[in-house]
Chain A
Amino acid sequence: MTDPRRALGWAALSVGLILYPFLDRWLGLQTVHAVSDGMIYVLLALGLNIVVGYAGLLDLGYAAFFAIGAYSMGLLNSPVLHSPLYGYPWSFWVCIWFAAAVSALLGVVIGAPTLRVRGDYLAIITLGFGEIIPVAIRNLGDVTIDIAGWRPIERLNLTGGENGVNPIGRPYLPGVPFETDPVPWYFLILVIGLASLWAMNRLRDSRLGRAWMAIREDETAADCTGVNPISTKLLAFALGASFAGFAGSVYAAKLQAITPGAFEFQVSIMLLCMVVLGGAGSLKGVILGGMLITLFDRVLLTQMTTMVRWVGRTADIPALAAADLTLWRWFFFGLGLVLVMLLRPEGLAGRRARPLAEEPDEPTVPTPAAAPRAEAIPGWLRDGARPRGAAPAGSPLLEVRGITRRFGGVVALNEVDLVVPRAAVIGLIGPNGAGKTTFFNVVTGLVAPDNGRIVFEGQDLAGLRPNAIVARGIARTFQSIRLFPQMTVLDNVLVGEHCRLDATVPGAVFRPPSVIVEERRARTRARELLAFVGLGGKEDDTARNLPYGDQRRLEIARALATEPRLLLLDEPTAGMNPRETETLTELIGLLRRELSVSVLLIEHDMAVVMGISDRITVLDYGTRIAEGNPAEIQRDRRVIEAYLGAGYEQDLATR
């Protein structure tokens, strides 16, 4: 708000929003109803945006939650339904919260079993749910339960069936004419909409918002960075549904009548169109998309019809004189959507890939990041790396015993033992396909072992999810780098801190001092960590725009942000030049020396492995074929045959 022009723009917008209904009345436009309805749809689209835009879950049945909100209002507030709840003094102001809560609850009920499936399958399930709700509503207008003549429930009208619900109680505020005037509705919906927008804005910029976007970008990587994908997605579903509940209850009270037809599949699709047209993930875009589509539908199409008919009458073209463009609405929606997707696939106001700054013209010899220095290690990282819990003294950090894992007929790991002491670097080498990465996947919880035990700091890790294992203190990087590519460098590291932060939904929205302090500290830490690995000054770059070596370093920074005591690095120097490799080797040494972090290292660069490993384990066809210190491993005949090759012996001799 420091920019005076921006402040002025906001002031003008506020004045415009306040003056609009009076201006409309003065000019006799009579658009307030349509605009208010538009705002309800915008609120719906904003709720859907949490699910689709932030968390990246395609929901094709979102109108179901809209229906649940509307019928919750009807059930409490309409005399025509035989609701056992009707008749109590339920005020509209209580009912909207009730409707939101019911929608959120159903969001969880629907979400819990379905969110384990991914992508297309989830979309199909939401599609089914979106179909079931209107059908259920149609058929719950006349319920009779007959158990051999005994009828505990007879001709109970729960939903009004095909005829719908009419009337529904209106809100009551002393002196405000909700019955006769559209203007109070306009302001009521505006206030609800702005409050929702405010909450969503804060959610997006919180620990939770980052977790949603991380899940959208790469669910597995998010899981291995300490974000629980199940609860995070469920929360997106529930919160998205609760906004639909608000919108539905207000819609029902405003319209005074609801029918199942208002919540059909087309409504879900139209809401999705609003999100996509405006730009998924962008609040401004979704508002724009929602307003454009509703106003086009409600105002522009009828105006255009009048115009076309007038042209038809004056030019004496009977086809035009009898035209009804409102019948063509889906054609126009479709056309508009196709055009936007072709010309601006990120949506009208979506975030465009940020153009990169032009590089200097003169070729420069690439300067690798400065060698990491012990002084640059952030103090908090030193504290975090101290052993926690009551691990028995002298026990190893990680103890893996007899791990076996089969994939179909292939035995990827066969009775593998491996011990990582505290503050040690352990090399894990072996031919391609020997099972090294599978071993990492088992330790980090991505793959469950068929047999064997994994004990970390004296505790069995059996059955823990990857994110829980990260919280215990094991972090990893991936062979093929898995960052959150569309997020900033800083946000990537902040996701790493996720499991060390506490902000909840109310905390993220209302920001009590504790959350403000926590968030500020998290950002400071992320910056310190980036400076430490040599990425200072690149905090606001988009991760995927970083050069390869920087991406590797960022992945390590993200892993360090989880405050691990064991770091699993999967081919960290692959694709690095000798200088970058050297810097990385120094970094690993520093982590071990200064922070007592243990490192388990998969690496094919033998200069690195032999140089920094205390001990090395060699796998071949899933079986451990050797274990020893580097000198022993280099002399081992089986290792030379299976892995190092005769050329390595020659190289070693000539070096």
Chain B
Amino acid sequence: MLELVDVHTFYGNIRALRGISIGVESGEIVTLVGANGAGKTTTLRTILGTVRPRRGSVSFGGQRLDGLTTDRIVRLGIAQSPEGRRIFPRMTVLENLELGAFARQDHQGIASDLDRVFTLFPRLRERGGQKGGTLSGGEQQMLAIGRALMARPTLLLLDEPSMGLSPILVDTIFKIIQDINRQGTTILLVEQNARMALRVAHRGYVMQTGRIVLHDTASDLLRSDLVRKTYLGEK
């Protein structure tokens, strides 16, 4: 469904991605694991077209994405919940969510998806009329994920969805990720909490300084020495 082949992405003369190849099949949860600065977020940005790859190709359902503008890519069915939330602070929670469905026309579908987001995150329903910027950090995180879901994407990119969430909500958010996936959405997940990510994912890629150093099924990665020592903090 999503395929990156030998992608190189630069920031100025910094090589953020040094030739990565990643495949995501329809219906999967795939996770990218790696330290800060390994290139996980850059990978998501390259897919969405907010940065351009200098070499290599990104394709989605057979169509080339590199070269398309971000709004075109979103209309093809990819949505993202960005790292650091990036919600619209002066708009209400409800307006933020409605903007997530900006590219859609099916009013009935939008209404039912709004209901679904509110069921997943009851806190957002309570705060529906409040300005996004007045939400707490964790609530903004929920809003960012909810807004991405409102696009009803076929592929959902999640960047650090558990960051800043309470333990009970971390559990909840990973359950929600699995629920969303069972309802038919393919998910590419970037997470610092490698343990939880690998528990819900089908497959995973391990990134180090802009390259893929390991990829395998999630359960095998959980058992691998490299992952356990470097990313799970086991001795």
Interface residues of A (CB under 8 A from B): 353, 355-356, 358-359, 363-366, 407, 410, 429-437, 479-480, 547-549, 571, 574-582, 604, 606, 642-648
CB contact under 8 A between A577 and B231, given known A358-B14, A432-B141: yes
Q: A431-B168, A479-B164, A580-B36 are in contact. List 10 more A-B contacts (CB 8 A).
A: A358-B13, A359-B209, A431-B169, A437-B136, A480-B137, A575-B160, A578-B233, A604-B164, A643-B166, A645-B171
Interface pair A365/B36, CB less than 8 Å apart: no
Name the residue of chain B whose CB is nearest to the CB of A577: B35
The 8 closest A-B pairs by CB, nearest first: A432-B138, A578-B233, A645-B168, A433-B136, A647-B171, A363-B209, A366-B35, A548-B36
- Inter-subunit contact B37/A432 (CB<8 Å): no
Q: Shortest distance in angstroms between B160's beta carbon and chain A's nearest beta carbon? A: 6
A433 in contact with B168 given A366-B208, A575-B160 (CB within 8 Å): no
Known A-B contacts A363-B210, A432-B136, A433-B123; A576 and B168 likewise in contact (beta carbons under 8 Å): no
Taking CB atoms and an 8 Å cut-off, the chain B residues in 78-95 that contact chain A are 84-85
When chains A and B are docked, how far (Å) is the Cα of A365 from the Cα of B226?
10
Q: List 22 A-B contacts (CB under 8 A).
A: A355-B12, A363-B209, A364-B209, A366-B209, A410-B130, A431-B138, A432-B136, A432-B137, A432-B164, A437-B137, A548-B36, A571-B137, A575-B160, A580-B36, A581-B233, A604-B166, A604-B170, A644-B167, A645-B171, A645-B172, A647-B167, A647-B171
Nearest CB in chain A: distance from B193 CB, A? 9
Q: Max chain A CB contacts within 10 Å: which of B36, B123, B164?
A: B36
Inside 8 A of B35's CB, which chain A residues have their CB? 366, 577
Residues in B with CB closer than 8 Å to A407 are 134
Q: Give the chain B neighbours of A578 by CB distance below 8 A.
A: 231-233
Does B13 lie within 8 Å of A432, measured CB to CB? no
Closest-by-CB residue of A relative to B139 is: A433
What distance in Å separates the Cβ of A262 from its nearest Cβ neighbour in chain B?
41
Tell whether A358 pairs with B167 under 8 Å between CB atoms, given A547-B37, A576-B192: no
> Contacts of B13 on A, CB cut-off 8 Å?
355-356, 358
List the A side residues contacting B15 at CB < 8 Å: 358-359
Q: Is B211 an interface residue (CB 8 A)?
A: yes
List, in ascending order, chain B residues with CB within 8 A of A571's CB.
137, 164
* Min C-beta distance of B198 to chain A, whole Å: 14
A356 to B123, CA, bound (A): 42
The distance in angstroms between the C-alpha atoms of A433 and B166, with both chains bound, is 10
Residues from chain B with Cβ under 8 Å of A436 in the complex: 136
Given contacts A363-B211, A547-B37, contact A648 B168 (CB under 8 A): yes
- Assembly CA distance A100 to B99 (angstroms): 53
Q: Is B224 an interface residue (CB 8 A)?
A: no
Asked whether B171 lies within 8 Å of A432 as measured between CB atoms, the reply is no
* CB-based nearest A residue for B207: A363
Cβ of A644 and Cβ of B209 under 8 Å apart?
Answer: no
- Contact status B209-A648, CB under 8 Å: no
Return A369 CB to nearest CB of chain B, in Å: 12
- The distance from the CB of A584 to the nearest CB of chain B, in whole angstroms, is 13
- Distance (Å) between the CB of A624 and the closest chain B CB? 16
A433 near B233 with CB under 8 A, answer no
Residues of chain B contacted by A433 (CB below 8 angstroms): 123, 127, 135-136, 138-139
User: How many angstroms between the C-alpha atoms of A606 and B166 in the bound complex?
Assistant: 9
Closest to B138 in A: A432
Given that A575-B160, A577-B192, A577-B233 are known contacts, is A549 also in contact with B36, CB under 8 Å in the complex? yes
Identify whether the interface residues of A are mostly helix, strand, loop, or mixed. Answer: loop
Which B residues from 210 to 235 make CB contacts under 8 A with A? 210-211, 213, 230-233
Which residues of chain B have C-beta atoms less than 8 A from A410's C-beta? Answer: 130
For the complex, what is the distance from the CA of A581 to the CA of B232, rounded to whole Å? 11
| Contacting residues, chain B, for A576 (C-beta < 8 A) | 36, 192
> Nearest chain-A residue to B233 (Cβ)?
A578
Give chain A nearest CB distance to B32 CB in angstroms: 13
Determine which of A366, A430, A645 lies in contact with B37 in the assembled complex, contact meaning CB atoms within 8 Å: A366
**Cα separation A506 to B39 with both chains bound (whole Å):** 48
Q: Contacts of B76 on A, CB cut-off 8 Å?
A: none
Contact A365 B230 (CB under 8 A): yes
Residue with the greatest number of chain A CB neighbours at <10 A, chosen from B14, B123, B167, B169: B167
Contact B138 A575, beta carbon cutoff 8 Å? no
Q: Give Cα A604–Cα B196 distance, bound, in whole angstroms.
A: 15
Min CB distance, B221 to chain A, in Å? 15
Nearest Cβ on chain B to A395's Cβ, whole angstroms = 32
Complex Cα–Cα for A548 and B123 (A): 29
**What residues of B have a CB within 8 angstroms of the CB of A604 in the complex?**
164-167, 170
A359 and B231 alpha carbons, distance in the complex (Å): 22
Q: B180 at the A/B interface (Cβ < 8 Å)? A: no
Task: Tell me the bound Cα distance from A463 to B154 in angstroms.
Answer: 53
Could you mark each residue 3-34 of chain B with 1 if its beta carbon is under 8 Å from any beta carbon of chain A, else 0?
00000000111110010000000000000000
For the complex, what is the distance from the CA of A569 to the CA of B164, rounded to whole Å?
Answer: 13
**Chain B hits for A579, CB < 8 A:** 230, 233
B73 within 8 A of A: no
The yes or no answer to B163 lying at the interface (CB within 8 A) is yes
- Complex formed: what's the CA distance from A534 to B144 in Å? 33
For A545, give the chain B residue with the smallest CB separation. Answer: B14
Measured in the bound complex, the distance between the Cα atoms of B35 and A580 in whole Å is 10
CB nearest neighbor in B for A570: B137
- Chain A CB within 10 Å — which of B11, B127, B233 has the most? B233
Contacts of B11 in A (CB 8 A): 356
CB–CB A356/B38 < 8 A: no
Q: With A363-B213, A549-B36, A575-B192 in contact, is A431–B163 under 8 Å at CB?
A: no
Shortest C-beta distance, A315 to chain B (Å), equals 48
The CA of A124 and the CA of B159, in the complex, are separated in Å by 39
**Which of B139, B192, B213, B232 is within 8 Å of A432, CB to CB?**
B139
Give the chain A neighbours of B36 by CB distance below 8 A. 366, 547-549, 575-577, 580
What's the minimum C-beta distance from A611 to chain B, rounded to whole angstroms?
A: 13
Complex-state Cα separation, A437 to B171, whole angstroms: 22
State in angstroms the CA–CA spacing of A356 and B213 once bound together: 24
> B168 touches which one: A435, A548, A642 (CB < 8 A)?
A642
Q: How far is the CB of A29 from chain B (nearest CB, A)?
A: 44
Tell which of B142, B167, B210 touches A643, judged by Cβ atoms closer than 8 Å: B167
Within the assembled complex, what's the spacing in Å between the Cα atoms of A649 and B85?
29
Given A366-B38, A574-B164, A604-B164: A432 touches B169 (CB 8 Å cut-off): yes
Complexed CA–CA distance, A442 and B229 (Å): 40
**CB of B196 to closest CB in A, whole Å:** 10
List the B side residues contacting A646 at CB < 8 Å: 171
Given contacts A356-B13, A432-B169, A479-B137, are A365 and B208 in contact (CB under 8 A)?
Answer: yes
Residues from chain B with Cβ under 8 Å of A429 in the complex: 166
Cα separation A355 to B12 with both chains bound (whole Å): 7
- Interface residue from A356, A364, A645 paired with B14 (Cβ < 8 Å): A356
Contact indicator B163/A574 (Cβ below 8 Å): yes
User: In whole Å, how far is A223's beta carbon from the nearest beta carbon of chain B?
Assistant: 18
Chain B min CB distance to A627 (Å): 17
Asked if B231 and A548 sit within 8 Å, CB to CB, the answer is: no
Question: With a CB–CB cut-off of 8 A, which chain A residues contact B208?
Answer: 363-366
**Alpha-carbon distance between A171 and B222 when the two chains are bound, in angstroms:** 84
